[in-house]
Amino acid sequence: MPTTKRRRRHVRDTRLSPQQELELLIGGGGGFKDDSSCHAAWIEHRDELMALMPDSKPWAWVVYEAGGFSPEEGGRITKALARLKN
């Protein structure tokens, strides 16, 4: 008797690892294989990560939405946020 083969849909796990979450929040690197995967994770998880820092902005926001860091800021979020408030 013939059987019907059904394709299994593989659900991709889109949760962030703790290392990836920290990278998006405070920077540091090492959580993603490249910048494009880091940017894609930021786009996907932006709202939940922004909610974790109600009084500040995450590193990924500075990099991907505010134009990045200027050389004199040395990758410091507090300096970049001070510049962006003005």
Using one digit for the tens of pLDDT, what is the confidence trace for 29-54? 888 999 999 999 999 999 999 999 88
Using one digit for the tens of pLDDT, what is the confidence trace for 54-74? 888 899 998 999 888 777 776
With bands split at pLDDT 50, 70 and 90, how would you rate the model's confidence at 86? low
Our separate counts of H helices and E strands in the chain read 4, 0
Q: Which residues of 1-18 are buried (b: 16+ CB within 10 A; e: fewer)?
A: eeeeeeeeeeeeeeebee
- Does this model's pTM top 0.85? no
| 68: alpha, beta or left? (left if phi > 0; alpha if psi -120 to 50) | left
CB 77 within 8 A of CB 62: yes
With bands split at pLDDT 50, 70 and 90, how would you rate the model's confidence at 10? low
